[in-house]
Structure 1
Amino acid sequence: MSDFFWKIWSVLVFARQFGSFGRRTWIRKPLMIHDPKHISIGFGCFIRDGARLEVVSRKGLAPGKIEIGNNVTMEQGIHIVACTSVVIEDEACFAPRCTIVDTTHPIGVPEQGNRARQVSNEPSFVHIGKRVFLGANVVVLTNVRIGENSVIGANSVVTRDIPANSIAVGSPARVIKTIR
């Protein structure tokens, strides 16, 4: 379907389903959007084909939330999971196939059932600052802050905080340069 169709669909359908949905924002061919009333998207955002935006509800706990700022661009195949909180500030940009998760699956004993259907009950978060760029296939794991103006290289796995104005690469991602 054409881009025009998805722009109209975003205005007429998505804008009514989400917690908030900014003007001039559109999502092209989403794969899955779970619990959109707990997802807020600012104005001027563009989310490409195959997006998975998932807010997970855990028994006895408040549902998670995803907050996406203004003028954020997410290329195809983005996958965001929030059990507690994923915040993405203004003008962040994600290359294809990035994954951002604020939870883990418990280790437990095998007799407790399928681990893929279980998530941790511990409070957690991911916070991505303004103008952060994530290269292709970046994975951002739980309890991580990426400071503003930072760049995360392709195929990196972010397991700990990255300071503002940094370039980080690798698995686990390590700062290799400070941007002035």
Structure 2
Amino acid sequence: MMMRRILTSVTIRIKNKLNPPKSELEQLRDRGLKYGRNFEFYNSLIDQGHCWLVEIGDDVTITNSTILAHDASTKAYIGKSKIGKVKIGDRVFIGFNSVVLCNVTIGNDVIVAAGSIVTKSIPDNSIVAGNPARVIGKTSEYIEKHRANLAVKPVFDTYWPYKTQDQIKEIQEGLNNDYGYDE
């Protein structure tokens, strides 16, 4: 019995080294999730049961958020869950702790502010925020404002994992009265 456990453990370790377990994103892709180039997916959840209804474009970042292609609130009442496609365009940023519900299309060049609940489709070149999310501005105007601010605000260029303690102190002091920009 003990020898069998040892052999099983060794076999699993060898198998995992030869064929490492697939990442969550690889598993979702295998189940039908479609996504484009430069897809950044940080600590987020994409509906595993209906990921084949989700399509994500190029240059998309999703941070600590949830993408749902189903709504099970109807299941107890009518015996079925509502399902719908989720389409996310190109150059989209979905901020921390946001939720995108089923049957929603997010256009190109969209910023979804942190904590937003996206219940309806969003047009191109929009910034949305709130619960439910609503358009609060144009992405192009927002980016131009911040591009201009690079000339007058503090700018720091070392990517966060490589910052020295001196650089951290410089940033802390440089941001005493205002915000700045970082790599």
Where is the strand percentage greater, Structure 1 or Structure 2?
Answer: 1
Alignment match, 1:148: 108
User: Which has the greater radius of gyration?
Assistant: 2
State the identity %: 32
Give 1:109 shift: 4.4
Alignment match, 2:74: 107
Alignment match, 1:170: 130
1:91 and 2:37 are equivalent in the alignment: no
Q: Paired residue for 1:138, among 78, 98, 101?
A: 98
Cα deviation code 1:32-57 (max 9, x no counterpart): x7x93x616xxxxxxxxxxxxxx5xx
State the distance in 2 between where 1:108 and 1:165 align: 36
- Helix, strand or coil for the counterpart of 1:39? helix
Give 1:175 shift: 0.3
Alignment match, 2:46: 80
TM-score (norm: length of structure 1): 0.58
1:127 and 2:87 are equivalent in the alignment: yes
State the distance in 2 between where 1:107 and 1:123 align: 10
Cα deviation code 1:139-176 (max 9, x no counterpart): 00000000011000000000000001100000000001
Give 1:68 shift: 1.6
Deviant stretches of 4+, over 3 Å: 11-14
- Runs (5+) with no aligned partner, structure 1: 1-8, 18-26, 41-54, 56-64, 113-117
1:158 and 2:118 are equivalent in the alignment: yes
Where is the helix percentage greater, Structure 1 or Structure 2?
Answer: 2
- Helix, strand or coil for the counterpart of 1:107? helix
Distance 1:12-1:101 versus aligned 2 partners, 3 A rule: same
